[in-house]
C-alpha cells in the first residue's frame, strides 16, 4: 500500500516551476517514438517542450511524423526530398546486406558518415540555429546514439541530459565500472556467464571497443571543429559525453544483466509500454478466426519494411504456412513479390500497433529483430520471442533475451521452413517460455515508479538542483591512465624493480672486481 500511495502522490504533485526544454531527435524510427513519448510526458507535467526533428532519416513505411495534438511543439528540418530519396535508397540496400548476414563495422561507419554529413548541414543552417538559440532553453534532452546531438547542444550552450535508446554497454566514455569478467562488451554477443574462452573474447573486445569509438568520433571531429571552433573541445568529442548532466538508459533489469551503476546513470526502459487497447473490429475478426491457436506478430523493426532476399522470403512464407496460428506481419504490401502466393493464415500490414497486439489475450509469440523497444514490450506483455537479429545492438539484445529464458533466436542466413516452424511450435508449446515471460513481466511492472514518471522526476531534479555535478564521480575528469591506475602501477613497478636492479648491478660490479683481483701473474716457466 505504501508504494501505491507514494506513486499516486508523486503523480499528483505539480511541477514546482515550468521549464523550457528542447528534445533533439535526428534519427527516425524507434528513436523518434521514444523521443516523442519523452517530449509528451514532459509536456504533460507542465513543461514547455519543443522537439527538433530531422525528417526522412529513415522513413517508416505506413507512419507519419505528425506529433501529437495539444502536446509539445515541433521544429522540423530536412535536407530536402532529393537527399531523403537517395538516403533511403541507400538504407534499403543495407537491409539486403543485413538479411544476408553481412552486418559489419565498415557498414556502420558508412552510416555514421551519413549522419556526419547531415550534422554539418544542420549546424550550417543559420536560420534554424539562430531560432533555437533565441529560445533560451533551460535544458536539452538528446538522443545520445547520434554524436551530432551533443554537438548541437554544445553549440546552443545549454546543459543537456543524454538519453541512450539502448543498453548499458553502448557508450564507452562515461566511466561506468564494467569488469570484463562478467559484463559483456558491446557487440561481443556474450552473456554475463562466461567460461574461460568467453572471458578471453570479452577482454579482446574491450581492447577493440575504444578503437571503434575513436573511428566513429573521427567522422564528426571535423564537423565539430568547423562549427564550434578549432580547439573548443580540448578533451575531444569524449568531453561531450562526459559533459552530460545525467545519462538515462532505455533498459531495465528485467532484461539487463546486473552490473554496478553510478549516481548519474538511471534506467528508464519501457517508455512505450502501456496497457493494451482493443484492436479495430476488422482485425479482431481476423484474430478470432484462428480460435485458441491464436496469432503471432512478426516485425523486423521500424526501419525494415520488407524482405529483399528472395530465398529468405520463400522460406519464411513456407514456414508460416506450416503452423496453425495466424501470422500478422508488418510488411509493405507494395514490395510483396507478385509471383509469390501468400498463405491464407498470413496478413500483411504496413504498420501495426505493436503494444496493443502484444497485449492481446490471443498473442502467442512475437517474431522480432531484437530491437530494445520490441523486447521490452514483449516483457511487459509476457509474450515469448523468436529473435532474428539483423544489425547493430540486436545481436546482444537477443543474447540477453535468450539468457533470461524469454525465447530463442535464429540467424537470418540459417532460416529454413522446417527450422522456423519447429522453433515457433517449441516456443508456443513449451510452457517454460511463457512462464519465464510472466516472471520477467512481474519484475518489470513491479518497479515502484513507472519509467515515464521516473525520467520526469530525474529531469525535474536536475533542473531544481542546478545541474548534475553532484552526481558525477571525479573519474570523469581523470585522464584515462589515472582512471585505470596505470600511473600507480608504473610507480609500484619502479619501487619494486628499482632496488632489485641496483642490487644486481652492485653485486655484478663486486664480482667483477673480485675476479680481476684474484688473477695471478702468468708463470714464465709455464
Positive or negative, the Cα torsion across 260, 262, 265, 270? Answer: positive
Which DSSP state fits 475?
G
Confidence of residue 285 (pLDDT cuts 50, 70, 90): very high
User: Is the predicted pLDDT of residue 1 greater than 60, yes or no?
Assistant: no
pLDDT in tens, 297-354: 999 887 777 787 888 999 999 999 999 999 999 998 888 888 899 999 999 998 889 9
Would you say 68 and 92 are in contact if contact means Cβ atoms under 8 Å apart?
A: no
- Cβ contacts of 383 within 8 Å, gap of 6 or more: 297, 358, 363, 364, 365, 366, 437
Read off the pLDDT of residues 110-155 as tens digits, 9 standing for 90 and up.
999 999 999 999 999 999 999 999 999 999 999 999 999 999 999 9
How many alpha carbons fall within 13 Å on the CB side of residue 249? Answer: 20
| pLDDT greater at residue 65 or residue 135 | 135
Pairing of strands 139-143, 20-25: parallel
Name the pLDDT band for 159 (thresholds 50, 70, 90).
Answer: very high
pLDDT higher than 60, residue 14: no
Mean of the per-residue pLDDT values for the chain? 88
Q: Which domains does the chain have, with CATH numbers?
A: 9-252+448-467 (3.40.50.2000), 281-445 (3.40.50.2000)
What strands lie across the sheet with 295-299, from one edge to the other? 346-349, 326-330, 295-299, 363-368, 385-387, 407-409
Give the relative orientation of helices 451-464 and 30-44 as an angle to the nearest 10 degrees.
Answer: 60
**pLDDT at position 3, please?**
45
Predicted confidence band at 511 (pLDDT cuts at 50, 70, 90)? confident
Burial class of residue 334 (count of CB atoms within 10 Å of its CB; 0-12, 13-18, 19+): exposed
pLDDT at 9: 44
Question: For residue 480, is pLDDT > 90?
Answer: no
CA–CA distance from 326 to each of 6, 112, 289, 385 (Å)?
43, 39, 8, 16
Residue whose cell numbers read 628499482: 498
Give the helix, strand, coil percentages of the chain, each rounded to 5.
50, 10, 40
Look-up of cell digits 503494444 = 355
CB 326 within 8 A of CB 253: no
Taking only the tens place, the pLDDT of each residue in 467-477 is: 999 998 887 77
Contact indicator for 213, 173 with CB cutoff of 8 Å: yes
Amino acid at each position: 500500500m505504501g508504494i501505491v500511495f507514494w506513486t499516486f502522490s508523486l503523480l499528483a504533485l505539480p511541477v514546482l516551476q515550468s521549464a523550457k526544454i528542447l528534445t533533439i531527435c535526428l534519427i527516425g524510427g524507434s528513436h523518434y517514438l521514444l523521443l516523442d513519448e519523452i517530449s509528451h510526458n514532459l509536456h504533460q507535467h507542465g513543461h514547455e517542450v519543443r522537439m527538433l526533428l530531422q525528417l526522412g532519416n529513415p522513413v517508416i513505411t505506413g507512419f507519419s511524423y505528425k506529433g501529437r495534438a495539444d502536446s509539445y511543439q515541433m521544429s522540423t528540418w530536412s535536407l530536402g526530398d532529393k537527399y531523403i530519396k537517395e538516403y533511403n535508397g541507400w538504407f534499403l540496400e543495407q537491409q539486403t546486406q543485413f538479411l544476408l548476414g553481412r552486418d559489419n563495422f565498415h557498414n556502420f561507419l558508412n552510416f555514421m558518415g551519413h549522419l556526419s554529413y547531415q550534422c554539418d548541414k544542420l549546424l550550417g543552417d543559420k536560420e534554424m540555429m539562430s531560432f533555437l538559440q533565441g529560445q533560451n532553453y533551460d535544458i536539452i534532452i538528446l538522443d545520445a546514439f547520434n554524436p551530432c546531438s551533443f554537438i548541437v547542444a554544445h553549440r546552443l550552450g545549454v546543459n543537456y541530459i543524454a538519453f541512450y535508446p539502448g543498453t548499458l554497454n553502448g557508450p564507452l566514455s562515461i566511466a561506468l565500472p564494467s569488469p570484463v569478467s562478467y559484463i559483456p562488451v558491446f557487440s561481443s554477443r556474450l552473456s554475463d556467464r562466461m567460461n574461460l574462452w568467453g572471458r578471453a573474447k570479452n577482454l579482446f573486445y574491450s581492447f577493440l571497443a575504444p578503437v571503434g569509438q575513436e573511428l566513429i568520433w573521427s567522422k564528426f571531429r571535423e564537423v565539430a571543429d568547423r562549427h564550434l571552433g578549432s580547439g573548443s573541445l580540448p578533451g575531444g568529442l569524449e568531453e561531450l559525453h562526459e559533459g552530460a548532466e545525467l545519462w538515462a538508459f532505455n533498459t531495465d533489469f528485467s532484461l539487463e544483466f546486473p552490473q554496478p551503476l553510478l549516481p548519474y546513470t538511471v534506467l528508464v526502459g519501457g517508455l512505450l509500454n502501456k496497457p493494451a487497447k482493443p484492436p479495430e473490429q476488422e482485425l479482431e475478426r481476423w484474430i478470432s478466426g484462428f480460435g485458441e491457436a491464436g496469432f503471432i506478430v512478426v516485425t523486423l523493426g521500424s526501419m525494415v519494411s520488407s524482405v529483399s532476399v528472395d530465398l529468405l522470403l520463400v522460406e519464411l512464407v513456407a514456414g508460416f504456412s506450416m503452423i496453425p496460428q495466424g501470422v500478422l506481419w508488418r510488411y509493405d504490401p507494395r514490395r510483396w513479390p507478385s509471383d509469390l502466393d501468400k498463405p491464407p493464415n498470413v496478413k500483411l500490414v504496413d504498420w501495426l500497433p505493436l503494444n496493443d497486439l502484444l497485449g492481446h489475450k490471443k498473442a502467442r509469440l512475437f517474431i522480432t529483430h531484437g530491437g530494445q523497444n520490441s523486447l521490452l514490450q514483449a516483457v511487459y506483455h509476457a509474450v515469448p520471442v523468436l529473435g532474428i537479429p539483423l544489425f547493430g545492438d540486436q545481436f546482444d539484445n537477443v543474447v540477453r533475451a535468450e539468457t533470461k529464458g524469454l525465447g530463442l533466436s535464429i540467424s537470418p542466413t540459417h532460416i529454413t521452413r522446417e527450422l522456423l516452424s519447429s522453433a515457433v511450435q517449441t516456443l508456443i508449446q513449451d510452457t517454460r517460455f511463457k512462464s519465464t515471460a510472466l516472471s520477467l513481466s512481474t519484475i518489470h511492472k513491479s518497479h515502484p515508479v513507472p519509467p515515464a514518471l521516473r525520467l520526469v522526476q530525474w529531469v525535474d531534479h536536475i533542473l531544481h538542483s542546478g545541474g548534475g555535478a553532484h552526481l558525477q564521480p571525479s573519474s570523469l575528469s581523470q585522464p584515462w591512465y589515472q582512471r585505470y591506475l596505470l600511473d600507480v602501477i608504473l610507480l609500484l613497478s619502479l619501487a619494486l624493480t628499482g632496488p632489485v636492479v641496483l642490487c644486481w648491478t652492485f653485486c655484478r660490479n663486486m664480482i667483477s672486481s673480485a675476479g680481476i683481483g684474484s688473477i695471478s701473474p702468468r708463470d714464465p716457466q709455464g
